[in-house]
Amino acid sequence: MRVLIVEDEALIAQSIQAALQDAGFVPEVVADGEAAWFQGGTEDYSAAVLDIGLPKLDGLSVLRNWRQEKVNMPVILLTAKGSWSERVEGIDAGADDYLVKPFHMEELIARLRALMRRSGAERHSQMQAKGLILDTRQMKVSVNGAAIKVTPLEFRLLSFLLHNRGRVVSQEELASNIYYQDQEPDSNAIEVLVGRLRRKLKADIIETRRGFGYLIDDDPTGAA
């Protein structure tokens, strides 16, 4: 499940991104309101985590613009303030929930899951292709009914490829989306990771396009 993180404080954005990755989400980060307005209105996300205090365009304006444009994904607002008036203003703008900084990542994840259950987004917590099933809710992987034990990094790679089914993803794009920002993988790290996953899956699921990257073919059965 793709989640848009809109946060201009780099350390907070990185912490949220890492926590959501570990929880099985596919988080994407933008750092200003104008970029958030565009990306949230043109891409398909299961939810958004939106800071109120943003450069270029504040979070409440972003949210109002989304709602006017019929962007209905669940939105959790983040703010450094906890005043009742600001909370009311955020809910009036179309927010589904509200968190005051500092907060615990476990609470953010629990609230995200609750919002997705209410919105129906969690029905898409399973993704399928060629006998592979990846469950982002239970953090499980199986192939043709057999459970496969994978590492968190392997899980994130499979999740990203499945979210991009039918599209070739370069090694550079994979690395930037599955490794944390403070990690610097070796040049052949993705190739080694894919090779290890193929041996575990024991099925022709991840394809290589020499010189371009990797893909999992689009499957008409799609996501559950």
Q: Find the mean pLDDT for residues 215-222.
A: 66
* pLDDT band at 176; cut points 50, 70, 90: confident
Give the distance between the most distant pair of CA atoms in the chain: 56
Query: Which of 214, 48, 24, 209 lies closest to 127 in space, CA to CA?
Result: 24
Report whether pLDDT(188) > 90.
no
Report whether pLDDT(122) > 60.
no
Q: What is the pTM of this model?
A: 0.63
Phi, psi of 136 (to 5 degrees): -80, -10
Q: For every residue of 59-114, which 3-state class applies, written as one string? A: HHHHHHHHHHCCCCCCEEEEECCCCHHHHHHHHHHCCCEEEECCCCHHHHHHHHHH
CA 71 to chain CA mean position, Å: 17
CATH of domain 125-215: 1.10.10.10
Report whether pLDDT(63) > 70.
yes
d(CA 8, CA 13): 7
CA 173 to chain CA mean position, Å: 14
Beta bridge partners of 169: 214
Beta bridge partners of 161: none
CATH architecture assigned to 2-122? 3-Layer(aba) Sandwich (3.40)
Domain ranges in the chain?
A: 2-122, 125-215
Report whether pLDDT(101) > 80.
yes
Helix, strand, or coil here: 119? helix
Helix, strand, or coil here: 143? strand
Q: Find the mean pLDDT for residues 197-218.
A: 90
d(CA 34, CA 42): 12
